Structure 1
Amino acid sequence: MNHNDFRTIIESSRRRSIAADISCDQIYSKKIIDNIELQKKFAEKRNMILTAAPYMEQLINFVIDYNFFVLLTDGEGCILNVFGNEKILNEAFELKMIPGAYMDEESIGTNAMAVVLKTGSPIQLSGEDHFIKAYHRWTCSGAPIKDSHGKLIGVLNLTGYTEQVHPHTLGMVIAASNAIEEMLKVKEYHKLQNINYKHMNTIFNSMPVAIITSDLEGNIKLYNNQATELFGKADRLMEATRMNELIRNWESMIEVIENGENVEQDISIKNFSCHLTANPIYNPVDDSIEIVYIFEEIKKSNIAAYYTFDKIIGEDPNFLKIVQYAKKISDSKSTILILGESGTGKEVFAQSIHNYSSRMDAPFIAINCGAIPKEFMELELFGYEEGAYAGAKKGGSQGKFEQADGGTILFDEIGALPLDMQVKLQRVLQEGIITRIGSQKSIPVNVRVIAASNKDLKKEVESGRFRKDLYYRLNVLPLYLPPLRERKVDIVLLIQYFMKLICNKLNKKEVAIPKEYLKQMMNYNWPGNIRELENIVELIVNSETIPTEYFNQETGNEDINQEEEILDLAYVEREQLKKVLQKNNGNITRTASDLGIRRNTLYSKMKKYNIKI
């Protein structure tokens, strides 16, 4: 590109920026998304984010001795990921160049990413080439990322200070974006190949799940080794078996599949449970439709991380601050210690932290330290080699640390961990290696540890029941979950949530709870916290009666003669909004932040309840 062409492109972009009402004194992008909307964007662009990440890291490593940061945006200019040196990255974050911010011309004016989005070609801008003054300190090199059809799906951009401008910088960015494009093409090709070659035996038998295919009459066509192990049938018996002998209500499942729908459900087989997915596929060999069944055994010790932060129910401002703090520390490598009474949702938070971190696709292993006999604890955590003891499984067995490698391990009821195991856990946290029982080989493990306890571990340390060094190793990022009696504003909300959830699960009608009984529930101390509340709601749904005597056992100190209207969820929400607005002297931004909602949501609620500042 010659100088005249470059100036023409920049001038055209500046005219469009002016037309979009961008001010040169503007600092932040006009469009920044967050929370659920941003999570949806991450999920949508997950493949590109994961594919680009190693190349972005490599790009920063090339310029490690200088101040640079690298950005990845989608095809609309929304920032998806950021890597870089801490100093310049802090400056970028002050300008809200963060995931969720849009870098297109209409949102922030002329910059390298915006020009790439418009032209589809790589470009380097420095200093006053940028429209807004806040970016004049920087030089930016941007290059497009295109899919196999030539459609622009993202932009890679490397930014540093203007004195570091160099033509080679753009060359590095172009090379990295080309590499990302090629890797995306390879992944797309492999995806197509996996569809076309599902029946390849080498892949078929290496999968860690049981797979069977059958025709629409239930005659088994193919199966892998895991299927014979799962069902305990030799090859000749499996070939003679029909699907209705393996799956209860198979005929009903076929009706769903013949209507063009996939099946996904948990089923029981003998003495264990499986997660089953069944999908129809076209077999080009004989022009027929077959069904692929995938059985994944549900192991109680290896719990999938189901919960995410958007499933956590609550509107109490202090509780919402705890949720925000938990999100903030989710991607840290440091250990987290979650403290709180039984039933406050410690494992829910642990799973949500895992699912909000970069480890979300890796294993989540939960261990209840109080439920495993002392003599089996070491076997559970570290595994064993073949021949380690009489009856040891052939080939040995992985422990929980190996199973959780790359992911997260939760030590629930950590206070119940035996003292000798506390010493060994401390060593693993310190060195990052484990040794199987009966082996001398050290195995490195990359595991993020979360511990949870309903005990006061400081008192346990003082009494000699818990090691001080382990306590301080675990208590790097403490997270305290308040009991339900300290977040009473959420009680009605939780009752409504569990009422709908349980009624849907049990196929029952919702039970109306009279306000006088809601009043008692509001003022009950809930020693069992959220778990107790859920159980009571399930009792109400099943019995269709209110156990009034239950709530007379223990009550709080609040005035139980308050107006009945307080029991109405809308009233509770309105009063809470007024309270937080008053605390922040009417500041909309701070109030929205305290409530964990967006500004436009706050405005909508204020309009709904006729609240004026």
Structure 2
Amino acid sequence: MSIYPLWVYEQIPKNTIYFHKERQYKNWQNYLLDSKQNENQLAELPETRDIILHSWDRCKANKDLNPLIEGSIKNITDDKLKEIRDRNEVFQLAQPILQKVNQELAHSHHLLKFCDSNGTILEFYGDTSLLHRIGNSLNANKGAIWSENYAGTNAIGTSIELKQPIQIFSSEHFAYGCHELVCSAIPIMNPFTSQVVGVINLATTLDKFYPFSMMETMKIVNNIERFLFQSYFRAQEMLISIYTESINKFKNHIVVMCDPNGKILWQNNDSQIVDMENIILKATNEITANKEWEEEVMIASHRYDSKFKKIFWHNQYIGLIAILEKKYNVHDDKYTGSNTAKYSFHHIIGKSDSFKKVINISKIASATDATILITGESGTGKELIASAIHQASNRANYPFITLNCAAIPKDLLASELFGYVAGAFTGANPKGNKGKFELAHKGTLFLDEIGEIPLESQVHLLRVIQEQEIVRIGDHKKIPIDVRIIAATNKKIPEEIELGNFRLDLYYRLNVIPIELPSLHQRMDDIPILVQHFIKKLSVKKHQGPYQVQDNTMDILKSYSWPGNIRELENIIEYVINFAENGIIRPEDLPRYILSQQKNLNSTSELNPVQQAELEWILDALKRSDNNITRAAKELQLSRSTIYRKLNQLGYDIKTLN
């Protein structure tokens, strides 16, 4: 079964093409117009390929088709065409390749058509003069359907029917109006399902016929399918990421990921798989415009609150995730919530030497029960490290309780830490309340912003650490506890001790294993992998992407000072992906203040060593004071006006500090 006429690739004179055209025309006329023709006469058409004869038979059986038609007899509306174009993932992804082909074919007297899997023409590329010649006369315009049902034997429709490449020469076309054309068509196949997802058709007139047009068409389709494979692979990665993130986040839930047809890809609970298949199939078949919805379902006589969410890739629906939580009644034997650590060492991103040293110390610390003090600037990931230490410790199956000491009013901090009995103070819970220490029994208590704890509470905290027992406010009963403490602060505790704000003995108790986190400015080598990590994370969260960071954009990110550290970097990435066009993150997508600092760096690069040292001296003080000019001036023993004047003289724009 040849995909093209065998004589095409023989070394033959040009006029022989017309000889074959005439012989083929007689076969077409005899077979399709002669009412006496029947299947027994197939042997009388030796010049006609079997693949064409079988197609002609299919078309003859269609009473709506007449061999004397010009071309397609079916069109869709402009609104429907627009909808199909916008939703066709392959068409959108293939645009870079098709636009390049458009330039190459501009004056070649060849016209390339991109069709969807139904044979509908979505767009033309190449020589527009040929389009003007055949567009209206053959109804080869955008929106025309060229399946065999509506256009008879033709390269587009027959390739879809056979799911293979084919070249249709002249009078091999069923429609008389197409006999002046030679068309080569190849279906585009989904690399994972092998389904036809589109068709590329390269057409020309008989007088401009190029014997190797099928090879050129094959090259175009191969490029598209290679691009599709890369994109589909990234989409598959995104589904895996969403599923993995969900099962880690919803540990006590049933999590199911399926394809758009309802086939379950992954499920973290196989005990009720038959019921789940029915629920998922019902959800995927449900006709709804909603991207996410909630409903109650029944599995094995139990009720579950279920959340369904569709996942999109390049505006194409690629999967559905379901998260099911069992509903418990008050009569159930046991249902208790638990405070668990969200992050492990697997979640921590970084390869710089300074950061790897921190991770090594943290892993050693996780094997002990010693108290840990984590220090570092705001946004460096102190809670993440504390969470990872807990997850790697022998307390991982017990609570991880967090308390931000700076967020609790001073007069309520003691009750938060140690709890209280009924009637302990006005407004208290009449039944009393457990404190964080009791809630963290056998687990870990993470005290963030420990530098903000008032002196009177420091005394109580010190006693608890020493004696491993607490007394609720308003009570005299001692309650033994088994709690591992991890504290964190962005303050320099030795300086706070000198100022009388922090007890030295408490510092020694907390600082058994000190872990100092480097600022992002001290680990610039990690910026590229952190950027890619946050892009991937946000792409999964927003169901958008992929995104690519231009090299000059990355250079700017690597040269920025990052006073807000990793937290600031994540916020910046979320900012830029909302403004990136076509998935490309350019310098102009960055916030103005980052670009302003880049200009400052460029303007200060010509300073002499003394000026550079003076500028760094001032900027370091500003960084330590969180860009508070008054505090920096006090530290440097300069006036505010002097700092402004010096920065201006050194070419640094003070506005970038705001």
Q: Under a length normalisation based on structure 2, what TM-score does the superposition of the two structures give?
A: 0.41
Bigger Cα Rg: 2
